[in-house]
Homo-oligomer: A and B are copies of this chain.
Amino acid sequence: MNLKAYRFTGGKVSLADIPTDADGGLTRADAEARMVTLGARLAELQERLYAEGKRSVLLVLQARDAGGKDGTVKHVFAGVNPQGVRVTSFKAPTLQERAHDFLWRVHAQTPPAGFIGVFNRSHYEDVLVPRVHGLLDGRGARRRLEHLVAFEALLHDSGTRVVKAYLHISKEEQRQRLQARLDDPQKHWKFDPADLAERELWDKYTAVYETVIERSGTKRAPWYVIPSDHKWYRNLVVSQLLVDTLEDLDPQFPPPTFDASKIRLK
């Protein structure tokens, strides 16, 4: 699977032109079979990354409400050793966090060498939400995006491969998923009535997401717009993205610091 069509490293982005329900010509059964192979490969590459202990990967997940961030984490990382994976779910900032610049709490959670870090929501919320709600003007948003780009370049140059995924769903798909949460009492905890107000701002979010992806998609930290109406296709693409990223890094088991043939155990 070639992910180039979903990759953005600068230049114009029109979300309306990217289908939310693409399936790569695969059936669900095809995709699930491929997930088994990809999952095993991901587990193997993660072990090498951990053993090497020199570089890291940061996967940033952004989406609208019910866009599938939680489900992606659950399915893509099932079978990967949790010892080498750190998921950070960013919520509304605490008082202490708000007393610092917006990247302070984010920087603290970046993956150390050997780790795969996953951000479920991220520093991008600090542009998206205030810009949509008019708390940040265009100039203020651009300035924050410049800071983000510089921050991600620092991570890249320090051995962290940064990949950013926008899980792209249609407005109708969101409606169905929110309705499913309302219909199932065991899913009520995932429903926040405040999400309804955000849903009203659908088009504003689209416009801001486009600006964000245009201005912060870089070669050192590309954005991927991932068709996500089909959960199984989304999981497959994100898994492939991680496997490709890790294969490109090609982590190696470190050379031994001893001569194994000379060691005799008693």
Contacts and interface: CB of A to CB of B under 8 A. Distances in A.
Given A189-B254, A258-B193, A73 B83 contact: yes
Nearest to A193: B258
Contacts of A51: 189-190
Given A253-B186, A263-B196, A265-B179, A74 B70 contact: no
A245 interface: no
Nearest to A120: B83
Q: List 6 tightest A-B contacts by C-beta distance, closest first.
A: A188-B256, A51-B189, A74-B81, A182-B260, A83-B87, A82-B82
A148 interface: no
B253 A189 contact: yes
Interface residues of A, number: 40
Interface in A188-229: 188-191, 193, 196, 199
Interface of A: 51, 70, 73-74, 77-83, 85-87, 89, 118, 120, 175, 178-179, 182-183, 185-186, 188-191, 193, 196, 199, 253-254, 256-258, 260, 263, 265-266
10 contacts: A77-B82, A80-B82, A82-B82, A175-B266, A185-B253, A186-B253, A189-B253, A189-B256, A191-B256, A196-B265
